[in-house]
Structure 1
Amino acid sequence: MVELEAWYDEEQDDAVIVRTSAELDAVLDTVAGWDGRVLVDLYVAGNPGRANFNVGLHGLAGRGVLYYAGSGQKWFSTETPDTDLNSDGRILYYYMNSDTEYPADSEIALDVVRRAAHEFMGTGGERPTASAWRIAPDWW
């Protein structure tokens, strides 16, 4: 298990350092309690170039999204990995009040999103296996 840097609140001057599963749950619970679709940006502390992992939470709907970038590839969570990679359907999640577009079919169950966040922490920044993935569409 590694320490993570969590970025999610526009009022933050510094990352929230997440050292334990309970601390990760506290961040996820906080964001899931906010209105709308909100992103948490997670990085391996001390090695932000290792991977970029976005965890999107839409608590009221019980849904969320995942985005993983590492080793020169970009991946989105999906429940239907065989969909058209260039489909124009998009949904908005917000990172510190900035619009971030995601493929419409990238929303998955919130419990899967949470498991993936814990897996990211537990594996030291590897792409989680808790979700199905597909390569980012051309428009992203």
Structure 2
Amino acid sequence: MNIPLITDNVYKFYAIFGLTLVSVSVLGAVQYHNSTNELVHNLAKSHDRLVKNIGDDASNLAEYGVVLARINVIKSDRKLANYFLGGVIGIGGLLSSYGFKKWQSEVQVVDDELKRLQVKQLKQLVGEGDGE
């Protein structure tokens, strides 16, 4: 079974797909870190407010514990997200490098030679052949 590719060869597909993985992962990392930074900032404000009023009410102590737990969860989630996105970026970089290398060294060489021969043949047909 042949699966149609969006390009004329598989190495170009690897290169483009690898670059897409890297780009999407970088954009995802930026978006994820921006959203978690905003959440941590809001939790830090709550934390500061609760520290000032910790002795006033027992419910403040419970809310303080919840805020600290949420901050710790965000920190561990961020670490996991960094590992995951770093892995995807690494895989995308390797895939792209492999695709570009194979494309340049195997496919492009044949394409260039084919084009050179086509130009030579057309020149001979027109009568402008230089005897190469």
* Structure with more contact order per residue of length (Cα contacts < 8 Å, sep ≥ 6): 2
TM-score (norm 2): 0.23
More helix by share: 2
TM-score (norm 1): 0.22
- Report the structure number with the largest CA radius of gyration: 2
More strand by share: 1
